[in-house]
Amino acid sequence: MSEPIRIGLVGCGRLAELGYLPALTLTDRVRLVAVADPDGRRCGSIARAAGADVRPHGDLETMLDAGDLDAVVLASPASAHVADATAAVAASLPVLVEKPPAPDAAGAATLAALGGDVHLGFNRRFDPGARRVRDAVPAEGPVAIDVAIQYRRASWNAHTVCDDVLSDLGPHLVDWVRWLAGQEVVGVQAHEVSSDRASVRLTTTRGTATLTASADRFHAESIEVVDVTGASIARHSAGGLVAAVTDRVLRRNQPHPLAESLAAQLDAFADVVDGGSSADLATTVDGLRTMSAIDAARTSAAAGSRRVDIHEPREQTSC
């Protein structure tokens, strides 16, 4: 096996603390060598927790100047992703950008124009339950999909970012719909869009989908795929109050599902950095099409839940 790829992690918030640090203990394909964040206290804390040989930096530019990196992971706010990814690509480094790829489709198009060295972090693709559902979905024929994620934003307690639920959870849900059935979103009708809740209906190239997101409820996630008769093809659920209590007992001293999915995503990223490929690692085109659907949901909500059609999104041409 090749040597672990050396990564620099940009962003020392809750995802770094609760997701990436434990994920890095679950894979031998990746080695964290540097972290960057303008908050010196958090940056130093994450660096110390990661290991004595992990270097803290105040920003990405300083990290890149220090060298000794094979790739960069961006867990920074979405507003910084385009600039940070551009800098990483200019330094000839592959980059993994956490969702959302950018605040809107225009930013996602700019990312897509950077080329194939930019990849997206839709870690829900690496959830074992979601993968079982995908394996059960037939390759052809109409399907209807219901997907939902809810959690308590106050429990996550992000340090700086406070995205509304459509930016926070919506990208995961839209990507699930596209990835689970190999389909594209062609129409969007938003029934509710607020800071904490969103309910959106999608028209797809294979049927319909409903998305439900909440940021003020106990954590739970669900997927159900049905055929044209309404018969269930596959379903998956996780979380909920009972599961939380049960997992606290049965999964004691076991990795958190978030860390497990991030570790699997890092393995897929390592495959690509090493010159291979990964069928499940999301691309910038996935990010562009996902954010086009998110933008359409906002437009629909502003227009009184009018359906908004989505045309084939175009990447911006790089200079």
Question: What mean pLDDT do residues 17-46 have?
Answer: 96
% of the chain exceeding 70 in pLDDT = 90
Whether 12 and 98 share a structural domain: yes
Whether 144 and 120 share a structural domain: no
Q: How many domains does the chain have?
A: 2
Q: 119: which 2 tokens?
A: 């990849």
Q: Is residue 317 part of a domain?
A: no
Whether 207 and 297 share a structural domain: yes
Going by pLDDT thresholds of 50, 70 and 90, the confidence category of residue 189 is very high
* Per-residue pLDDT at 126: 97
Q: Is residue 314 part of a domain?
A: no
Query: In this structure, what CATH number is given to the domain that contains residue 43?
Result: 3.40.50.720
Which range is least confidently modeled, 42-46, 70-74, 246-250? 246-250
Whether 67 and 87 share a structural domain: yes
Q: Is residue 93 part of a domain?
A: yes
pLDDT in tens, 43-52: 999 999 999 8
Whether 83 and 191 share a structural domain: no
Whether 49 and 74 share a structural domain: yes
Going by pLDDT thresholds of 50, 70 and 90, the confidence category of residue 319 is very low
Q: What is the extent of the structural domain holding 155?
A: 127-252+282-309
The mean pLDDT of the chain is: 92
Give strand pairing partners of 121. Answer: 98
Whether 180 and 299 share a structural domain: yes
Q: Is residue 33 part of a domain?
A: yes
Query: In this structure, what CATH number is given to the domain that contains residue 304?
Result: 3.30.360.10
% of the chain exceeding 90 in pLDDT = 84
Whether 81 and 119 share a structural domain: yes
Going by pLDDT thresholds of 50, 70 and 90, the confidence category of residue 255 is low
Residue 218 has pLDDT above 70, yes or no: yes
Whether 227 and 134 share a structural domain: yes
Q: Is residue 87 part of a domain?
A: yes
